[in-house]
Amino acid sequence: MMKKLTKPILISYGALAVPLAALGLPLTVYLPPFYEGPIGLSVGTVGIIFMVARFWDIFTDPLMGALVDRYPSKWGRRKHWIVIGIPVLMIASWYVFIPSEGEKTAIYLAFWLFILYLAYTFVGLTQQAWGVDLTSKYNERSQVYGWREIGSIFGMMAVLAFPAILEILDYDFRTMIAGMGYFLLAAFPLTALVSLIIIPDNKVSKGTYFPKVFDIKKIIKNNNPLKRVLIAEMLCSTASSISGSTFIYLAIHVFEMGDISSRILFVYFFAGLLAMPLWMFLSYKIGKHKVLFLSALLCSVILSIYIPLYYLIDISEAFWLVMFLTTLFGVGYGAPFTLTRAMMADIVDADELRSGEKRPALFFAVLTTLSKFGSALAVGLVYLYLESIGFGSGKEVTEGIRESLVFAFAFFPMLFYFLASLICIGYELTPEKHKDIQLELEKRN
């Protein structure tokens, strides 16, 4: 029997997303330039390591999802996995964010990054699957994953506060990265403790069976809503990662606002935080897939403005215009990832009706696998592309390189967001169909 979905449960669930998102942002935006700059690895080496580390996740995600669904404990289905994963996350975060002085090799980065991604996957999958257990109602699912996204955006803003403040105080890049690391080391155990105390867990649920690879392929092949959500997630993740991994370079070399780049990002995420209740409200009124269409299209339209703007005006002199576009882009940022997860929770219900198995961790593992595949391609190929055009720390930045930075930041993300919006047209698992599924599940149970 599910407990009533209360505000303390929603807030605690969202709180667990705070350090996870606070870790995810630097992994895309700050750590690649940090290891390419102050640490001294080549831009191509950094790109390959981050890409391969993400591809490592692609193979481990389905296994992790099956484990989380298969083995409950006397405390429930999810809590013990949080207890196992958080300490590993903290140890790996220490070595990645706060490396000791002295030369660091590519092997050092690759080893600790692989451990970090493994623990990150473990805890992240558990948290997403836990959200499915909290409610079976269509609109409440939007609430649950909306609060998760609010927590995520708050976490990004919180971790951005360190470089933003340290920029003002004129500290170096290494100190900014270390500040992020110390924030993670404090936030992980605190939010985990709150979630373990407040969020209910199902203590009577039995584990599911281990699916074979063929089973996963069959689930995807015969499930059009699932295919749509997976494609939309991969496209939006790729788009977001390309823009995120090039933003710092864009701020420094195109906007010529490198000294306030963290503050610009703070505004971006703050706009996303303020907009989240609006997206949640719209999803109640018109349905999740329609709001996903609107938010992805908004991101595409905003990005389409950057390229002609670069040629029409001196963008380094257009501070308020850059801030305006950044704010609008931020408004659209969080919605796609909230909605794909809320839609995935509904797909889990449809699968339970067909198969008799409730296996949310497996489904979210497939979702995050595609998401990470997009992110891996984005960071790896973008950094290899930047190296191919002669870009690197300490090298002269020519006009051609600036054009390439703008193109990398805006064009492909614009295209991917637009394709993601098209995927939503004709989405099959509507609110009405989900209500019918819930009625059938209630009769069965």
Query: Where does the pLDDT of residue 201 fall: very low under 50, low under 70, confident under 90, or very high at 90 and above?
Result: confident
Q: Count CA within 13 A, CB hemisphere, residue 237.
A: 24
Task: Residue 445: name the closest of 269, 280, 216, 202 by CA.
Answer: 202
pLDDT tens, position by position, 315-352: 777 788 888 988 999 898 878 988 998 898 889 888 88
pLDDT at res. 212: 57
> Would 245 be classed as within a structural domain?
yes
The pLDDT, as a whole number, for residue 248 is: 78
- pLDDT of residue 275 exceeding 90: no
pLDDT band (50, 70, 90) for residue 304? very high
Question: What is the C-alpha to C-alpha distance for residues 408 and 388, in angstroms, rounded to an integer?
Answer: 13
Asked, for residue 23, whether it belongs to a domain, the answer is yes
Burial class for 308, CB neighbours closer than 10 Å (0-12, 13-18, 19+): exposed
Arithmetic mean of pLDDT over the chain: 83
Rounded average pLDDT over 56-75: 74
**Structural domain contains residue 135:** yes
Work out the average pLDDT over 229-246: 89
Structural domain total, the chain? 1
Tell me: pLDDT of 211 over 60: no
The CATH number given to whatever domain includes residue 100 is: 1.20.1250.20
pLDDT of residue 413: 93
Residue 50 maps to a domain = yes
Residue position matching structure tokens 């690197």: 392
Least trusted range by pLDDT, from 83-92, 171-180, 252-261: 252-261
Question: What pLDDT score was predicted for residue 295?
Answer: 94
Is the CB of residue 409 less than 8 Å from the CB of residue 246? Answer: yes
Q: Amino acid identity of 318?
A: A
For residues 93 and 116, the answer to whether their CB atoms sit within 8 Å is: yes
Residue 187 lies in a domain: yes
CA 340 from chain centre, in angstroms, equals 11
103: CB partners within 8 A, 6+ apart: 40
Q: What is the residue range of 91's domain? A: 13-201+222-444
pLDDT of amino acid 95: 93
Is the residue at 2 inside a domain? no
Q: Is the pLDDT of residue 210 over 60?
A: no
The tens digit of pLDDT for each residue in 418-441 reads 999 999 999 998 888 888 888 887
How many residues are recorded in the chain?
445
What pLDDT does residue 25 have?
80
pLDDT in tens, 103-147: 778 899 999 999 998 898 889 888 888 887 888 777 787 788 888
pLDDT at 1: 43
Euclidean distance between the first and the last CA atom of the chain, given in angstroms as a whole number: 11
- Give the pLDDT band (50/70/90) at residue 301: very high
Residue 290 burial class via C-beta count within 10 angstroms: exposed 0-12, middle 13-18, buried 19 and up: middle
Q: For residues 112 and 181, what is the distance between their CA atoms, to the nearest angstrom? A: 14
Q: How far apart are CA 34 and CA 173, in angstroms?
A: 7
Q: CA torsion, points 78, 87, 342, 209, in degrees to nearest 10?
A: -40
**For the chain, percent of residues with pLDDT exceeding 90:** 22
Its pTM stands at 0.74
Q: Which two tokens stand for residue 48?
A: 């390959």
| Res 205: pLDDT | 60
Residue 118 forms part of a structural domain: yes
Query: What pLDDT shows up at residue 186?
Result: 94
Query: What is the arithmetic mean of pLDDT over 362-381?
Result: 79
